[in-house]
Amino acid sequence: KKYSDVDFTVVAGASRTSVDFFINQITNAAAKGYSVVAINTGGTAKQIAPAINKSIAEGVKYISFDGAVPDSPGMSSKIEYSNYGASKLVAQEYMKLLPKGGKIGIIRMFQGLPDCDAFIDGFKDGIKGSNLTVVAEGDCKADPVQARRIAENMLTANPDLVGIYDSVDVSAQGTFEAIKAAKANVILASIGGQLYAAKAIAEGGAWKFTVPYPFEQMGQQAVIAARSLALGQKVESTITIAPLPP
């Protein structure tokens, strides 16, 4: 939807870890006349926090979506998906598919960022009391190439692995290739709901399900919140989108 009462500009870096790009945009936000910035930090939240804090001191209001900035307490709002709840749904599906239990590997992204850690914490809490056991973990930083290497090592070290939970679809592509190459009887699951994941699932291979991640809804909420702040209206400090079933 277009709004006649505010002007929006959309800019994007080359990748989720383009720290220099983020810092440059943030540093120049006040000089460019921006009153509000809605930012998807990717994997850069810790590195760009000082620049955000300085920009806030210069009068610019900030909203995070799809990636909080815990080191910037002056943020006006954060828009989040219930990553914890979504990963508990993953756990529930695994327990249905593997009623006898077994060994599970986890491939995560950006360890230490609260939003990313929630993808793992919810899963671990979700399998408590079941016969599923996490025996291996790795951080691929949302990179399919790294995910494939981690998955290969997991499969070699744990030939009796029954499942690998890769926290996001993008890196699960690499994990999927590792499982196929090893011809392993392993169930792959992820979060994202991307079309390429749905296609792989439909083909009936190791990739069994993906829990949707509402990127569009988060972006829409960010635009709505940014407009409200620009017009001097109140915005909730935290806006949480409930998890969706696979």
Q: How much is the pTM?
A: 0.84
Give the model confidence (pLDDT) of 176-224 as tens digits.
Answer: 999 999 999 999 999 999 999 999 999 999 999 999 999 999 999 999 9
- Full strand arrangement of the beta sheet holding 132-139: 132-139, 102-108, 161-166, 187-192, 207-212
Tally the residues of the chain. Answer: 246
Pseudo-torsion of CA 183, 186, 190, 195, nearest 10°? 40
**Average predicted confidence (pLDDT) for the chain:** 95
How would you classify residue 16: left for phi > 0, otherwise alpha for psi between -120 and 50, otherwise beta?
alpha
Give the model confidence (pLDDT) of 197-209 as tens digits.
Answer: 999 999 999 999 9
* Dihedral sign for Cα atoms in the order 10, 13, 15, 16: negative
How would you classify residue 110: left for phi > 0, otherwise alpha for psi between -120 and 50, otherwise beta?
left
